Structure 1
């Protein structure tokens, strides 16, 4: 009987996951190269997505899949071996084996369609493959990569790195930022509801956004963005609704120090008993001088979860992201919802381990939840510190329900937002939730930042917003009256210039600056250098003076003057294209830069990475979007840099979910495998 059931299961899977015919799939490229993918089934659309995304950025997709196949060390050397170790340490392959049968047949079909598409692309483009052993890719490889990615997003990779390096550690949650804004029709002059999807991710690499439109006859019609290797959109807009994600900072992870037995090696105390650690060897291959060298690293499993030893003892990690597989399935299900009730029903499953969600729809409901899968914790312990690992009183065994999370539906103020700030500042101050109504062990942030304070200041001045008002707020580049950085930069702005003759001119320019991060602003240029030199410093008056002196010396050394506008210090660059650009860290429309190898002039690499603005009114939502560079990551493509000028000028390109319009204005229509 057992074998009959296995055979039935095999043939049932074969029926569901039949070979997809590429001729049934249309890839419709618009003038910007954005792929609009049409097919009868969601699985066929996923095939087309894999093909189209590979055409634009096959190299980055492969880097994601290589990690899921535990080949990062072979491909990328020492750094890649660290990824392979982390993947095995968190138990990602085991989670896939144990939990895969819990995934729905609809999602598995979608995943299979994507896998067929990416393997087909590899077969037809062997010259683009970076490692022959990567293909064919399997569903296990992709699911392992998802567990790895979500665990890293939760901050587990940083904690593991700190333990290995014998560093001290606490809560790891820091972020560059994202924005989500929802405005209901009661707050607009047009009777429409507005949504801003505005995540701040790296412009390139495995965590960069890819814009795509997915449309099937099974009810899928969604425009938005996803990360390389994903078969579904993570945030965006369908015919009925849309949502934005931002990173949130509740206490998503706990670290425990085990109390080891003084005589029994690799044994620890737990509830008065002595238990043995389970010992494992991570199998790694590191590329040295082009040759994969096999090595191994020991890790353990305790009752708390994956465990590591360092010079200070044995430490175990517990977090939600490595405990099931359904997060990616939930994202897929979110894309197919039609109203707020359906959307909440899907989100309430709490398979996504974190991420704020800011929502709007055509029925003019707005909604925000600081989503997270959080354990019910014993209030007798300080959960922000390393915990005692010898008692079941600190073990996770129950999660808070969706209803217990901070959330808002249709506040009378008519607006909701999150900018990586506290969920207790999400709408008009009079309607905000009280943090004291939530258990402190949840660990939700009570902090605000420059963006959230500035946004509230702007909204307090607006009775109703036109769409142009909404866009101006979204692209705002001014700091609030008091800076909200982790470092207390305000001290620098309180110094009396005449008391410091050596830096008097620098202080005068800075303190008379209008706090706008405009590219031709000298004050913004001085602020950029100052922020860089102040990073991670405890600032008192003496330190403040030294920071300004160092900033001044750097500018004079390179330019011979301190009167240097931001445009000389910061550019938006890809290939041969280079443009000056507005923006500084943590303004509403921010820019973050990295060295170009020499001097103070740097290039952007994180900031306004994908912007999608939606208006919900009559008919289909009206959409505009922009990417930092273009749709393709291939230098030879006409879409490698074709959105850069719009992006720098804070302009958007029109987008639509209307099939007739898309086909009518198509630049190219083709099937996968047909060039």
Structure 2
């Protein structure tokens, strides 16, 4: 063996060689050493500051307000199970633990929902603050507190006491490294005490992200500027009830009550305005304003969810199984924390024994199970928002030729590092003029509508008002805690009746063997002039809401359906004969149909089979499109046929390592670009999701249809021309992006999951972003697939939304249930639980879900005791 050279520290010639070097070189070396030393010191300091907020999870901690000792047992992934003797102490402890793990996230959320983001982040937050203040989320939350049940107000207060106990005993830099980083930029900041209104305001954020078809209203108008009504209709095809069954397959409303075996009918015949250029300008401005509101439940489009429940006859356990995976925008940290809230003994003062997924900032378990029942959510997606074009002049707006006074108020927005901003907020009877914050003036046009001459010559300005059910006080907070306490179907439905905003599909199972479904929500009944699909003329009272809402007893529900299962995946809730209008913009049902197909084929499912179904990556569009792609015969050469050959034996599944899936999705992206980008404005170009599956399915049957033609060329292109070019472009793109050899292509290499902090993780400062973000996970699945890792074909292949968690509840043995979180329970980047579930999530693995005290103790790693403050009276 040859002798190894001595390291520099022991080489007798190293120092002499360095001393003999030219002076400039020596100074360069000194500089390098100095920089390296500084970097090491910076890393040490950064790590120290990052570690400082990681909470203690063992020992004894005094918590003011507690009535007795509370145990907090954490497992190897930091998931806390809390044990107490009263509901008040349980919720105080939940608030304390939430603050331990996620206070910065909670604090940012309350700043967002109050329109106070600028106080932390300066002018970068001002546009968001304007929109939120104009809608008045916090004002509504303040009104809401007064109408909640006394028990709910007490619960919110107890939770806030727990949060405040943590705030009072920790300085900002002890609570989050983000406060240290902000302090380094000159921010002097002490968090305010937490209040019940802070919790309620977050429910408005949840409602905003799940609000329904508001953007579609504007997009239909924008599409109509350049296309006929028939062409626009092809971009928004009707729901295919014959191919994708609704959630509830039968039933109707009889004397105001929904009955599973009844039927009902209703019709609507709305009048739509003729849109002038000025109206369109106003609507485009509103679209821009809406885009300024951050994705508060994570980044990205493609919001949806899967849930299904099977009865004992379809379960290998002999008892119901319930599965749920909500699809939300991706972020770091993720939206959920797993947690259990357990009364040591159920009494009149201690009623909670629930476990599952919680929101930091909100008391109770949002989705999960208790000792008797399990429940899951998907977005029902009813049309609960309407945009109204308003004729605005000065301090008045017009309706039925009468001038009405605007409701006007002024609010001050504090802006860090700049002067305060005085915001004037104006409202009509329909709601706030959100056009006021989308451009300099809300009166955006000086001309009258094209169909209404203005004999006065004064000109009409147009504003756009937002009417939305979440802008009225509601009782959703009552529903959350009532779900936690429900023990049977009747109590579950009573809780659901209070779940007003956002309207959700609720699936149900219980230990007695029952399964069910309930649609809740405050869904407006409109007058005959408005079906909610496009912005309405606010100056015509026939377009108003009636002031009444679909009665809860009239909303679809089903208990123990004959087929033995319920599937909800954002598809239509019920058939077109249902007498109330819910929406016309359902998800088109590809995911729900695939889930139903597997349930029918399996017949009887185990917990493992339920989890595998959540990971199903079959692309429903591929079965339609691939035969057309295989029929393309005149590709230029073998090089271009290489990709086509991958599709010949493809099973249409999209795991991360699939070469065929990579090529197919790049073809799909190019097909959408070649077909639609020449004719659609940039804001409304295809994202490639379920609606575009339906659009392209129809177009494929019309090979010479006008949408195939590229209006920018002299030739007239056909379907086959576009398919051929999409395959050629896809082959070139894959070679450029990955490799010439198709055997080296991977879908996951294109389809990456980046988990980024929505605040400082987007700072542009590389060390900060590396500290806070977790990027580069290669994943399978895709848009409108059961494994719903959505991507936007107009932007790229990166994941924009994904299953934010996955869970399967076994009602036969709750300890055999399984769950997984997209990230981890901690919001601290130096914590081992910041992203410790992500690799498992990517791999399709799950964690055991301990519920019984014995199972919790067996899984326990750390135990902490919260004790009353001896100075409390």
* Aligned positions, number: 632
Distance change (3 Å), C-alpha of 1:392 and 1:165? closer
Secondary structure of 1:385's partner?
coil
Matches within 5 A, 1:399-478: 399-424=549-574, 434-439=575-580, 441-445=581-585, 447-478=587-618
For the pair 1:591 / 2:789, whether they are aligned, the reply is yes
Distance change (3 Å), C-alpha of 1:525 and 1:64? same
Secondary structure of 2:340's partner?
strand
Mean Cα displacement is larger for which, 332-341 or 45-54?
45-54
For the pair 1:294 / 2:420, whether they are aligned, the reply is yes
For the pair 1:498 / 2:634, whether they are aligned, the reply is yes
Corresponding residue for residue 281 of structure 1: 410
Matches within 5 A, 1:113-124: 113-124=158-169
Shift of 1:466: 3.3
Provide the rounded CA distance (Å) in 2 between the counterparts of 1:32 and 1:332: 26
Given the alignment, which residue of 608, 622, 647 partners 1:510? Answer: 647
Mean Cα displacement is larger for which, 490-499 or 73-82?
490-499
Matches within 5 A, 1:138-287: 138-154=195-211, 165-166=284-285, 175-205=302-332, 208-216=335-343, 217=346, 218-260=350-392, 265-287=394-416
Q: Structure with the greater relative contact order (CA < 8 A, sep ≥ 6): 1 or 2?
A: 2
Deviations 1:303-330 (A, max 9, x none): 1121242525112111111211421221
Provide the rounded CA distance (Å) in 1 between the counterparts of 2:621 and 2:199: 47
Deviations 1:621-672 (A, max 9, x none): 6311112233223232222333234323322111122123313442111135
Corresponding residue for residue 66 of structure 2: 21
Distance change (3 Å), C-alpha of 1:670 and 1:531? farther
Given the alignment, which residue of 591, 596, 607 partners 2:802? Answer: 607
Shift of 1:61: 1.7
Corresponding residue for residue 15 of structure 1: none
Mean Cα displacement is larger for which, 608-617 or 364-373?
364-373
Provide the rounded CA distance (Å) in 2 between the counterparts of 1:297 and 1:455: 49
For the pair 1:569 / 2:750, whether they are aligned, the reply is yes
Secondary structure of 1:63's partner?
helix
Corresponding residue for residue 12 of structure 1: none
Distance change (3 Å), C-alpha of 1:420 and 1:215? same
For the pair 1:625 / 2:819, whether they are aligned, the reply is yes
Given the alignment, which residue of 780, 786, 795 partners 1:582? Answer: 780
Deviations 1:48-97 (A, max 9, x none): 22222232232212211222443211223445223322332123333234
Corresponding residue for residue 8 of structure 1: none
For the pair 1:663 / 2:857, whether they are aligned, the reply is yes
Shift of 1:460: 3.0
Distance change (3 Å), C-alpha of 1:156 and 1:207? farther
Distance change (3 Å), C-alpha of 1:145 and 1:198? closer
Provide the rounded CA distance (Å) in 1 between the counterparts of 2:406 and 2:614: 52
Given the alignment, which residue of 104, 110, 118 partners 1:65? Answer: 110
Deviations 1:472-507 (A, max 9, x none): 3222111236569xxxx6696365143554733223
Question: Tell me, which stretches of 5 or more residues in structure 1 are unaligned?
Answer: 1-17, 425-433
Provide the rounded CA distance (Å) in 2 between the counterparts of 1:285 and 1:546: 54
Provide the rounded CA distance (Å) in 1 between the counterparts of 2:490 and 2:121: 45
Secondary structure of 2:645's partner?
helix
For the pair 1:87 / 2:132, whether they are aligned, the reply is yes
Provide the rounded CA distance (Å) in 1 between the counterparts of 2:558 and 2:81: 33
Distance change (3 Å), C-alpha of 1:588 and 1:51? same
Corresponding residue for residue 479 of structure 1: 619
Given the alignment, which residue of 20, 26, 37 partners 2:82? Answer: 37
Corresponding residue for residue 318 of structure 1: 467
Secondary structure of 1:21's partner?
coil
Q: 1:423 touches 1:445 (CA, 8 Å); kept in 2? A: no
Q: Give me the TM-score of the superposition, normalised by structure 1.
A: 0.85
Shift of 1:620: 4.5
Q: 2:373 touches 2:511 (CA, 8 Å); kept in 1? A: yes
Q: 2:332 touches 2:823 (CA, 8 Å); kept in 1? A: no
Corresponding residue for residue 11 of structure 1: none
Deviations 1:113-133 (A, max 9, x none): 221222222222311363724
Corresponding residue for residue 427 of structure 1: none
Given the alignment, which residue of 519, 539, 549 partners 2:656? Answer: 519
Shift of 1:241: 0.9
Deviations 1:192-236 (A, max 9, x none): 100002112234358711111112351211111123321222111
Question: Tell me, which stretches of 5 or more residues in structure 2 are unaligned?
Answer: 1-62, 180-187, 220-280, 292-299, 436-441, 446-461, 674-684, 687-691, 697-707, 709-718, 756-772, 869-873
Q: 1:119 touches 1:136 (CA, 8 Å); kept in 2? A: yes
For the pair 1:395 / 2:558, whether they are aligned, the reply is no
Given the alignment, which residue of 515, 539, 551 partners 2:730? Answer: 551
Provide the rounded CA distance (Å) in 2 between the counterparts of 1:500 and 1:527: 18
Secondary structure of 1:259's partner?
strand
Q: 1:491 touches 1:544 (CA, 8 Å); kept in 2? A: no
Mean Cα displacement is larger for which, 451-460 or 314-323?
451-460
Provide the rounded CA distance (Å) in 1 between the counterparts of 2:380 and 2:797: 32
Provide the rounded CA distance (Å) in 2 between the counterparts of 1:645 and 1:147: 31
Corresponding residue for residue 453 of structure 2: none
Provide the rounded CA distance (Å) in 1 between the counterparts of 2:303 and 2:204: 22
Shift of 1:543: 4.2
Distance change (3 Å), C-alpha of 1:458 and 1:46? same
Deviations 1:594-641 (A, max 9, x none): 99xxx9885x56323211111112x65631111223322323222233
Provide the rounded CA distance (Å) in 1 between the counterparts of 2:314 and 2:587: 26
Corresponding residue for residue 520 of structure 2: 371
Shift of 1:419: 1.2
Q: Give me the TM-score of the superposition, normalised by structure 2.
A: 0.66
Distance change (3 Å), C-alpha of 1:49 and 1:648? same
Q: CA RMSD for the aligned pairs?
A: 3.4
Deviations 1:243-299 (A, max 9, x none): 111122221111111234xxx633222244321212233422334xxx143123333
Corresponding residue for residue 7 of structure 1: none
Distance change (3 Å), C-alpha of 1:111 and 1:483? farther
Mean Cα displacement is larger for which, 464-473 or 519-528?
464-473
Q: 1:143 touches 1:325 (CA, 8 Å); kept in 2? A: no
